[in-house]
């Protein structure tokens, strides 16, 4: 049975100097971004910005230098992440590759895969997407039906992946597919897929806010060579669970609505109502607690531990917090939320309200996460 302790993580001595360096960089590079643009948080895509981050050594921070990394700690990386997110920097291009695809390649990739791809991720010039969710299965990854049939020289893949963020911009996908029959968690494998491979079709999905970052990716008899498999055949479930620990634990799990919180504090600065002061105080207190839990998970990753269950708790609590902010903002401030409003508060409120439902879907639905937590506690 798992015990949730969330031991405190001490930031490195040079963390404050690094934080100041990142803030100076952001003050120069994203000064002209509006609050509405900043509200996109880690969904904001700018390939040139990612390249500049790579030049500063702020991608692949914890990876070995042999692969273009910088051998800094997970807590140094955490400082960079939270500064980027709090400022609303457009980090989406490199985000997935840096957060989970690169670490998966480091752990399970062949020597050739690591040498070829990891240095390109580190320079901010190689982007990844996640091939997990499917139509009809969503967060139930064990229900994956995309098949990779063994054929001479490799595998033949057929199936569909859904909600694939920035698949239309990605160079590679890490694909979860069924390679053999078996129980739900058996017979699954992961593959490194070049998105230019013949037979792959990427279809856009426009969200409720009118933006295109989701996609449906269809595989029709796509041939993948034998050396595209990641790790061992049949180990896909175990590998993907490790990948999800990276996906669920970071500060993006409670900072997606941060621009709205800043706008709310700004418009309520001189508001004498006790309800307004109480609401802001409560939100800030929740933010501080979530940051404490999230930095603890970063410390566990740095210590080589496997914080899958702890990360699920952070993800679940973070989504509740992120979704609460637009609801509280609408109650406290009058005015019609609109993306076209001349009020930066009202257009950030409109954007965040439209996107908030996705916060408890991406990276695992609330129901899936709570099932994972319950199993960890021995309750089911």
Q: What is the pLDDT of residues 260-270, one digit of tens each?
A: 999 999 999 98
Q: What are the structure tokens assigned to 378, written together?
A: 């021995």
Band (203; pLDDT cuts 50, 70, 90): very high
- Of the chain, the percentage scoring pLDDT greater than 90 comes to 76
Instruction: For domain 15-127, give the CATH number.
Output: 1.10.540.10
Sequence-separated (6 or more) residues with CB below 8 Å from residue 192:
105, 109, 113, 117, 172, 174, 175, 228, 229, 230
pLDDT at 246 over 80: no
Element (H, E) at 229: strand 229-230
Q: Report the distance separating Cα 26 and Cα 20, nearest Å.
A: 10
What does the CA dihedral 232, 234, 240, 242 come to, rounded to 10 degrees?
Answer: -60
Structure tokens at 235: 């180990």
Per-domain residue ranges of the chain: 15-127, 130-235, 239-376
Exposure string over 130-149, b if 16+ CB within 10 A, otherwise e: bbbbbeeebbebeebebbbe
d(CA 147, CA 223): 12
| pTM score | 0.91
312 neighbors 367 (Cβ within 8 angstroms): no
Question: CA 148 to CA 250: how far, in whole Å?
Answer: 31
Number of H helices and E strands in the chain, helices first, is 13, 8
Separation between Cα atoms, residue 119 and residue 60, nearest integer Å: 9
Tokens representing residue 88 in the block:
């609303």
Give the CA radius of gyration of the chain: 21
- The yes-or-no verdict on residue 335 having pLDDT over 80 is yes
CATH architecture of 239-376: Up-down Bundle (1.20)
pLDDT digits (tens, 9 = 90+) for 298-315: 999 889 888 888 888 999
CATH domain 130-235 topology = Butyryl-CoA Dehydrogenase, subunit A; domain 2 (2.40.110)
Residue pLDDT, tens place only, 172-188: 999 999 998 877 778 99
């Amino acid at each position: 049975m798992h015990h949730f302790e969330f031991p405190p993580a001490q930031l490195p001595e040079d963390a404050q100097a690094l934080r100041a360096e990142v803030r100076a960089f952001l003050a120069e590079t994203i000064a002209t971004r509006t609050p509405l643009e900043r509200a996109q948080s880690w969904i904001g895509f700018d390939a040139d910005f990612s390249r500049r981050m790579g030049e500063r050594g702020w991608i692949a921070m914890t990876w070995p230098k042999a692969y273009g990394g910088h051998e800094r700690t997970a807590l140094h990386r955490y400082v960079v992440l939270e500064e980027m997110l709090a400022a609303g920097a457009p980090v989406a291009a490199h985000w997935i590759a840096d957060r989970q695809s690169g670490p998966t390649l480091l752990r399970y990739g062949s020597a050739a895969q690591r040498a070829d791809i990891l240095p390109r991720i580190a320079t901010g010039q190689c982007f990844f997407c996640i091939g997990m969710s499917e139509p009809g299965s969503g967060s139930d990854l064990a229900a994956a039906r995309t098949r990779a049939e063994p054929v001479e020289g490799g595998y033949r893949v057929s199936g569909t992946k859904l909600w694939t963020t920035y698949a239309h911009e990605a160079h590679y996908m890490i694909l979860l597919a069924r390679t053999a029959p078996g129980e739900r968690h058996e017979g699954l494998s992961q593959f490194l897929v070049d998105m230019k491979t013949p037979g792959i079709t990427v279809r856009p999905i426009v969200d409720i806010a009118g933006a295109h970052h989701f996609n449906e990716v269809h595989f029709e008899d796509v041939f993948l060579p034998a050396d595209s498999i990641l790790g061992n055949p049949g180990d896909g479930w175990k590998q993907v669970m490790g990948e999800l620990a990276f996906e669920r634990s970071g500060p993006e799990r409670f900072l997606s609505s941060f621009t709205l919180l800043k706008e709310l504090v700004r418009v309520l600065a001189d508001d004498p109502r006790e309800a307004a002061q109480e609401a802001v105080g409560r939100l800030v207190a929740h933010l501080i607690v979530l940051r404490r839990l999230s930095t603890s998970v970063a410390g566990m990753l740095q210590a080589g531990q496997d914080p899958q269950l702890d990360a699920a708790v952070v993800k679940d609590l973070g989504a509740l917090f992120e979704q609460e902010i637009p609801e509280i903002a609408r109650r406290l401030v009058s005015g019609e939320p609109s993306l076209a409003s001349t009020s930066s508060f009202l257009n950030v409120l409109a954007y965040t309200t439209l996107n908030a439902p996705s916060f408890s879907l991406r990276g695992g639905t609330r129901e899936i996460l709570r099932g994972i937590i319950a199993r960890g506690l021995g309750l089911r």
